[in-house]
Amino acid sequence: MNLMNKSLFATSFTKVTLAIVITSTLVACGGSSSDKKTTIEPAVTVPTTTPTTTPTITTATNPGNNDLGISVVPDELKTTYSAALKFDRYTKVNTPNGGVIHIIAQNEIMENQIVRARGILQHYLTDFPGSVYGADKSAVANKMAKNGATLLLLNGVDDGTNAGAKLNGQPLYYGEMQVEGHSWYTQQNYDHRDASFEEILHLVHDYGIGVDQGAEVEGALPEYQADIRAAQVTALSGKLWAWSAGEASWIAELTAENSLSQEYLASVVDSYYGLWGASTGKYGMWGMYIAKTRSDMASKDPQGAALMADQFFHPYLTYNARIDENFTGDFSLKLNSSLSYTHHAQYLKDITLTGNKDSNVVVNQFNNNITGNAGVNTVIFSGQAAQYQFTKGDGEVKVQDLQDERDGENTLVSIEKLKFSDSIVEVSSL
């Protein structure tokens, strides 16, 4: 359900490439409205652990499969998710118990949107070694498959006109799905706000983590849900979340359908991953969450911050972001006050440039994996060339910053040039 939909339908999305697969059945909320003020948060600390396992990505065997793992809708799903309702593509993620989480898309959804939605779902289900509840997420993934989790990627926006939204599944609309490097992402003007993290989180929360105060769906992490509920109760009573009188009827509706904790957690996660750092308002999530950025949370919502601190969610984005094929210039993974999208992009770690346009990447402090496209690509570093160590072989070059907590170790594939503060180095010359 949407507090207030801010998405506007548009037809300008360009194709990107990539895809993943998943299965789930869920109904939860979408966006709301308000704005924010721009503040710069400090760079995140490189975690001491890295993901070890992820849900299996498989290529579907039914007709029409492409190299992104996107196929036509399988026969066993066509009766419900029919061509008459404009469903025409499918991808999935296999779970450890032999189940699947389905993603089913209508005909106006672009391949790059399908791929990114799948990547975000996979991100949520990727093990987070050393964390309290996420060190082994197989139980959450298995529970999602058992509970029938399904993600529906729908045409248009959430205006009540899409018949597909009445089917069993968690809806996510074309008009609220961004793709890294596309104009909706780089502009960050919230005309097409990035609701993917929220809606896919609802899917994982409702059908994997589980929700208390109701017996509809049994979840895998009741202890974590108890922490989420406690933080939500504090936030609502303490006017840290959804405190305005204008949201009273929405809160009443959420209470009746037992969706309070899901909506609160979505506000926390959105701010945690930088989705509201570029807005001009004072607060996060359409002005209804007290903490606009990750750095706000410790002082403004300490219980919300505790939900993110080595509990379940990675401090960076684990999926490989495929940059829109029409992007040109420098795509920055480093927070830059003049580039609104970097509030979000600063948490990316691995990216792939797509298409054939010359485009470059500014690295951040993580150990990045960067793959070039068919154009001429340059990776941009902070220091002088002599401050880095180079290792070349097996079709890749590794560039390791010898200074701690600056540029990390970067593994580069199909990259032609390296730019340092004092020189430009041709990869072919290494």
pTM over 0.95: no
Residue with tokens 């990675």: 314
Q: Which helix (H) or strand (E) holds 294?
A: helix 294-300
Q: What pLDDT, on the 0 to 100 scale, is given for residue 99?
A: 97
pLDDT at residue 3, as a whole number? 34
Query: What's the helix, strand, coil split of the chain in %, to 5?
Result: 30, 20, 50
User: Per residue in 327-347, pLDDT tens?
Assistant: 999 999 999 999 999 999 999
Confidence (pLDDT) at 54: 54
Q: 66-82: per-residue pLDDT in tens?
A: 788 999 999 999 999 99
Q: Tell me, what's the pLDDT at 37? A: 28
pLDDT at 51: 43
pLDDT tens digits along 270-326 = 999 999 999 999 999 999 999 999 999 999 999 999 999 999 999 999 999 999 999
Which of the four pLDDT bands, split at 50, 70 and 90, describes residue 39?
very low
The domain ranges of the chain are 56-308, 327-429
Whole-number Å distance between alpha carbons of 283 and 276: 8
Distance of CA 358 to the CA centre of its chain: 26
Angle value at C-alpha 265, between 100 and 34, nearest 5 degrees: 120
